[in-house]
Structure 1
Amino acid sequence: MVSTGAVSVGDGQRRARLGLRQLLAPAARAARVEETADAVVGLHASDPATVYLSACARLREPSAVEVERALYEDVSLVKLLSMRRTLFAVTEEFAPYVSAAAARPIAVKERATLLKHLGEFAEGWSEVRLAETERAVLAVLAARGEATTAELGAEVPALRETMLMAVGKPYEAKQSVGSRLLRLLASDGHVRRSRPRGSWLSSSYPWAPVEQWPEVPAREAKAEVVRRWLARYGPGTVEDVKWWTGWTLGDVRRALADVGAVEVALSGGAAGGLVLPGDEAPVAEPEPWAALLPGLDPAVMGWRGRDWYLRPQDVPALFDRAGNAGPTVWWCGRVVGGWAQRADGEVVWRLFEDVGAEAVAAVGVEAERLVGWLGEVRVTPRFRTPLERELVA
């Protein structure tokens, strides 16, 4: 990393970059969903609704059909369990880097954990049997094209076996071998989630085989992930990058050095901000903008240090106890409230401060835009937060 010691990128500039680079200012919105995924490096996908809501907030013409095209027809977006062991939807072109940098290391740990659990809580399992079962699953998928875990279990009976987890504890539960093995194959880049059975909000989906991506050296892959993060989220700190990726401090520092990250001062002269080389200059301020972003949106979950866009006193209303963000209202790069959709389809919101008539009007426009493309769909976040529950009550 290179220290400049002179250039400062204050909070106002960080908010301007956020609006422009993450396609939240109306003039910056995209035509295709792949552009929205690249603009945030990856769309959070732990909640199926988040991919659609996050992408459509950044599209000039929001449409669930456009998101489905990329996910299931062109397969130009791929979901991978990757950074922070979180599910992300990334572009097919970027997927080999994310796989090498994050998904496959997770798969190595998943495999070891699964073998350990099979040895402790199931009978007759070994590394050899696990590998044989994986090959059988892939053979069935190659023949069928796609199948749910239950459908695969009908042809590969080993998937129906169960493990009794957390024996004697309040959360003791049986878990099928199939649910764990399919997640492992997905992390290893062998299978992907196909179009869900039901609406786009459904978590019931079949699996489909994936052509193997080109091999990318892990160090090169980590550098590419960090380069893209800095391009869209910079300036950020070492702590921000470590939190977002879930990597060790050593891996983060090595990747930052590999991309030649440049140090800049943040608001108040604080040291430790990092940008890509040549990205120190100020950007033009976008027109005032409002956004209604879903729970777990990349913008609210993009940094560990959030005070420059989120007041600490507002966190308890907007986050659950595990640190998952709920739906947020934004004005010019700051979180100023939260929103929810009621059972009758109405989108309601609450602002935490007086942001002026222009902001209130702009939020209203975004609410109407959201209601317009959702139509008859009703969205309840998977991770519910105090304010979201209160607004729908």
Structure 2
Amino acid sequence: MRLPIKSALFSAIVVLILGGLILGLRLTQQGTQLTVVGAETETFVWLAAGAITIFIYSLFRAQISSGIANIPRFTGLVNRFEQVRDIKALRLAFMALIILGAFIFPFYTSRSHIDLGTLVLIYVMLGLGLNIVVGLAGLLDLGYVGFYAVGAYTYALLAMYFSVGFWTGLAAAGVMAAIFGFLLGFPVLRLRGDYLAIVTLGFGEIIRILLNNWTEFTGGPRGIGNIPKPTLFGLEFNRRASEGAQTFHDYFGFAYNTNHRVIFLYLLALVLVLITLFVINRMMRMPLGRSWEAMREDEIACRALGMNPTHIKLTAFTIGAIFAGFAGSFFAARQGFISPESFTFIESAIILAIVVLGGMGSQVGVILAAIAMTVLPELAREFNEYRMLLFGLMMVLMMIWRPQGLVPMHRPHVELKS
């Protein structure tokens, strides 16, 4: 059997060149000049090890893939997992256990972990919303962060100019994001693929530049601060209540604790995620959800069956934008300060990566990918400067080994025996 030596050698050389330029060299300032300094010997040892690994894998890739596929235990484990997944009672019990653990989690952990959990839930909500547009409807959206920004600024501006509370602002943010999603849907009705991606990318950048330049209204680069925090039926989580209000700890007779607000924000985000999951899951079972998937598979066939692609695309953009608006308003309330720099293109890229890594159309996959994309960088802070490099490497590896995502979307189907 002929081995692809040339291809393997080329892959190893590319790894050495790119890795040497990115990891092996760095700029340092000496006085008023920038000088190029080489990395430590350990870095080059790791680069050489990585290049050798890539060479060996590229050389024996076919044998490795076939060997893994032919392992009886591996095949049996996958089949057994699929059988267990199809048992409804076990699936419901597992879901209930996970939800119960999520509610208990903030009462037995530190404040930093609760904050990280809240951030994970925000990205889960964003990933689920974009999953409607990209995963279910098959419309590539690179400007989803624009709806996220619209939701955040809607609540912040209403609170600043009209003293609107969080719950009213949450609904207003969802409505405003839906309007923007509906308006974006019209220009892209006849577009698909790369052209659709370019238009949506432009939309996200237009929103950010508008927020940055409209200084009189949005504050421009200064952003908006002192955004009101959510309250529990009018009970505030401050040490002292504002005029005409009451604090949470005074009402229930607790001692004041700053963790009360953090736990409340986490639980609120968890409830919003559960509502998002419920609504999207119901929509997927409705004719609307079926039409999204049908258009994703073949738009021409949809037209032949009498479906209206205009209606399908507009509903996908509108409903997907609603959840981004909810996430944006919650983000503004949690942070207390927002600026256009919070809504750059990299945010859209991360949300899109969550959908792709999790599995197009898969809700469980989106949740797992959101946890991985948010928690792993926090666990490896020493690699923070190489975060985007590791991010790109993970995407490449996923596209090679599991292009369908971590947890592919499972649909009931019937197969005819050959």
Please tell me the TM-score bracket, short chain as reference.
under 0.3
Taking structure 1 as the reference length, the TM-score comes to 0.27
Whose radius of gyration is greater, 1 or 2? 2
Q: Which has the higher helix share?
A: 2
More strand by share: 1
